[in-house]
Structure 1
Amino acid sequence: MNEGGREEYVRAYALTGGRTQPQHILALETVLVAGAGRLGPAHSHEYEEILALCRERRRSVAELAGLLARPVTVVKILVSDLLDSEALTLPVTTPYDVAGTEPGAPSMQLLAALSAGLKRKWPDAVPYRRAG
């Protein structure tokens, strides 16, 4: 390993305080926005960069990792810290309005996305037979 690679590895370790897992469950596609919370004085420059990017517009975890050129796990840990301080939040979105559905009822697109996510997370799950 070259000297620069070793330095980058140590930097990532220092950024996360040696942690290897975030406190929050975050997917690559988790979208984040800047919140009302404030950073403490001990936060590093990377925290400020994440907040600045999320103030511009909503950003996904994967997008933040790419823009910061940091490993996804490191970014998830930093984002998790920012969620704890309420400096970042997860936006609450409403399901798409579809003609013919009750107000407040989930749309077919939302249900299809949920189904696809569940199948991806548990590919070996056995579906229940439909009732009726």
Structure 2
Amino acid sequence: MKPQVKATPRLGDFTHLGASQPLTSRQFVKAFTSTPERPLYDDYRRVRAPSEEQGTMDWRHRAACRDEDPELFFPVGNSGPALLQIAEAKAVCRRCPVTSECLAWALETGQDAGVWGGMSEDERRALKRRNARVRARSSA
């Protein structure tokens, strides 16, 4: 039997009570992109409590990455084969109708790992630094 994912998983969390393996990036993304047709589970009981985030996160259901292998969006490293993987993930993002919502969510929630909204980890860090410099100049 496959381990079930908690309703609010975090990378590295244990997938269910008594689990011996922490949540992998694939399971994390699968939980993040779950829909009512593919519900989340907690302790083998169906959990779908309404949350404040539910309405603001509806863009996930229209995401092009929803049916892709989640591992594609979490390359290991940022050189060599990882560069090809990042390029492939960005190709999925280019055909996605919700890229801007995805990027905004990643920036707001501090997603450090993976390709989100068509930007790699390094590109998002550079964007944050650039935005911080602009804010500093405008407030001075």
TM-score after normalising by structure 1: 0.25
More helix by share: 2
Which one has a bigger Cα radius of gyration?
Answer: 1
TM-score after normalising by structure 2: 0.24
